[in-house]
Amino acid sequence: MSLAVVTLKKGEGRTIKAGGAWIFDNEIESIKGTFKNGSLVKVEDFDGYPMGSGYINQNSKIRVRMMTRKADQEIDDAFLMMRVKNAWEYRKTCVDTSSCRVIFGEADFLPGLTVDKYEDVLVVECLTLGMEQFKEKIAAMLREVLAKDGIQIRLVFERSDAREREKEGLPRYKGILWNCDAMTEEEALCYARHVHIVENGVKYEVDVIDGQKTGFFLDQKYNRLAMQKICKGKKVLDCFTHMGTFALNAGIAGAAEVMGLDISEYAIEQATANAKRNDLSDTVKFRMANVLDELPKLYEAGKSYDVVILDPPAFTKSRQATKNAIKGYREINMKGLKLVSDGGYLATCSCSHFMTEELLKKTVKEAAKAVHKRLRQVEFRTQSADHPILWAADESYYLKFIIFQVVEEK
């Protein structure tokens, strides 16, 4: 059966022509042939030039997501296995694979699909209708590829419970996708709540059922490692600590004293348990607090820290909200900078694609000027390499992380 053909308007398709994977609804001139939402279609330029194939969904503004740029490429099992093998080989080359992101959507040329590995557990997030038909097959292929390297996966859990699915006309869902014969469903669910991993020498227990995203933020792995040297022997304040990841990296590196703040009671419970798990309870403490309210209180109380770490949630998830997000980032950085002692260090970041590198740097510079602090950049970093940045796919570059030394104006 021949595929329907999507023809672009003249002058449109700039994203895919630059190497990206998306075709928007307003870029399409016509669709010839029959199709169902989620099915594969051929894509042609206005003049009939073949541009490859992808899957279509008329419920989404991103009308087509490209699977291949080759006009004659079939999207069959051999093609999917090639994508899976390439993704795993890349991770083996670039990162510690004990726990890592194995598939990162468009950046691994499998749009709409994320797979994270936590030791012997895989967590799958499928956000698009077109990828629904492939997710179980890809998970099975990944288990097969890992097994050849001696890694036996015990559980595959699906965390497709993000709101983005509703834009695709899909229900939000989470549950077991596959588990080994040795575990009953009840045992598998228990196992999913208590997955033990080690990252940068720090032990964690990850809950892949109810934890943030797929259970853990793997993208900051090497940024956390970079902070270990900075934090040794220092008094550290970790803001928006979540599971205590930056705080625990500071503690294991030999920080003198660490305080982690987070508004979530569940996060603080997890962080406290992780401190105990690493024998750091005497050094690393956690407290439930609204960071934006708490930082001015600490400043008024005369507190100061050798290192302040700011890892806030995304203040913007749309281009329209960027203006308000800039105010939020400026405010949090001003409050954090006031607490850094002279010659101390600030680590600040943004996990929003729309808060660009240039915009974040400009905002932090304005914050420093407002509180009369001078900044010396130690290092600029991005997301871990298992979250590859695909040039021309701007959405794949989202995490910006900057370490500064902070000095008083003298």
Domain contains 212: no
Q: Examine the domain organization and report whether 378 and 277 are in the same domain.
A: yes
Q: Examine the domain organization and report whether 273 and 129 are in the same domain.
A: no
Banded model confidence at residue 366, pLDDT cuts 50, 70, 90: very high
Q: Examine the domain organization and report whether 190 and 261 are in the same domain.
A: no
Specify the pLDDT at position 313. 85
Q: Examine the domain organization and report whether 61 and 84 are in the same domain.
A: no
Q: Examine the domain organization and report whether 61 and 98 are in the same domain.
A: no
* b/e sequence 382-395, b meaning 16+ C-beta within 10 Å: bbbbbbbbbeebee
Q: Taking a C-beta distance cutoff of 8 angstroms, is the pair 117, 156 a contact? A: no
Q: Examine the domain organization and report whether 98 and 52 are in the same domain.
A: no
Of the three residues 137, 164, 196, the one that is the final residue of a domain is 196
Q: What is the longest distance spanned by two Cα atoms in the chain?
A: 75
Beta pairing, strands 340-350 & 22-24:
unpaired
Domain contains 28: yes
Banded model confidence at residue 1, pLDDT cuts 50, 70, 90: low
CATH of residue 273's domain is 3.40.50.150
Q: Which of 210-214, 310-314, 341-345, 395-399 has the highest mean pLDDT?
A: 341-345
Domain contains 201: no
Indicate the range of 120-129, 130-139, 207-216, 314-323 predicted with least confidence.
314-323
Q: Examine the domain organization and report whether 268 and 305 are in the same domain.
A: yes
Specify the pLDDT at position 316. 61
* b/e sequence 350-370, b meaning 16+ C-beta within 10 Å: bbbbbbbeebbeebbeebbee
Domain contains 204: no
Q: How many domains does the chain have?
A: 3
Range(s) of the domain holding residue 21: 4-68
Specify the pLDDT at position 269. 94
Tell me the average pLDDT across 236-243: 96
Single-letter residue type at 85: K
Domain contains 357: yes
Domain contains 164: yes
Q: For the chain, what percent of residues have pLDDT higher than 70?
A: 98
Tell me the average pLDDT across 76-88: 98
Specify the pLDDT at position 354. 85
Each residue of 373-405: pLDDT tens digit? 999 999 999 999 999 999 988 889 999 999 999
Phi and psi (nearest 5°) for 26?
-80, 5
Each residue of 300-332: pLDDT tens digit? 999 999 999 999 987 766 666 677 788 889 999
Tell me the average pLDDT across 207-218: 90
Each residue of 104-119: pLDDT tens digit? 999 999 999 999 999 9
Q: Taking a C-beta distance cutoff of 8 angstroms, is the pair 316, 327 a contact? A: no
Domain contains 207: no
Tell me the average pLDDT across 286-308: 97
Return d(Cα 51, Cα 27) in angstroms, integer. 14
Q: Examine the domain organization and report whether 267 and 373 are in the same domain.
A: yes
Specify the pLDDT at position 320. 67
Return d(Cα 16, Cα 5) in angstroms, integer. 16
Domain contains 152: yes
CATH of residue 41's domain is 2.30.130.10
Q: Examine the domain organization and report whether 117 and 226 are in the same domain.
A: no
Specify the pLDDT at position 149. 98
Indicate the range of 174-188, 207-221, 269-283, 313-327 predicted with least confidence.
313-327
pLDDT over 90 at 212, yes or no: no
Q: Examine the domain organization and report whether 367 and 272 are in the same domain.
A: yes
pLDDT over 80 at 22, yes or no: yes
Distinct helix (H) and strand (E) counts, the chain: 12, 20
Tell me the average pLDDT across 183-212: 95
Q: Examine the domain organization and report whether 224 and 372 are in the same domain.
A: yes
Q: Examine the domain organization and report whether 252 and 370 are in the same domain.
A: yes
CATH of residue 136's domain is 3.30.750.80
Of the three residues 41, 68, 95, the one that is the final residue of a domain is 68
Specify the pLDDT at position 319. 66
Of the three residues 68, 96, 116, the one that is the final residue of a domain is 68
Active site residues: 351
Q: Any idea what DSSP says for residue 9?
A: P
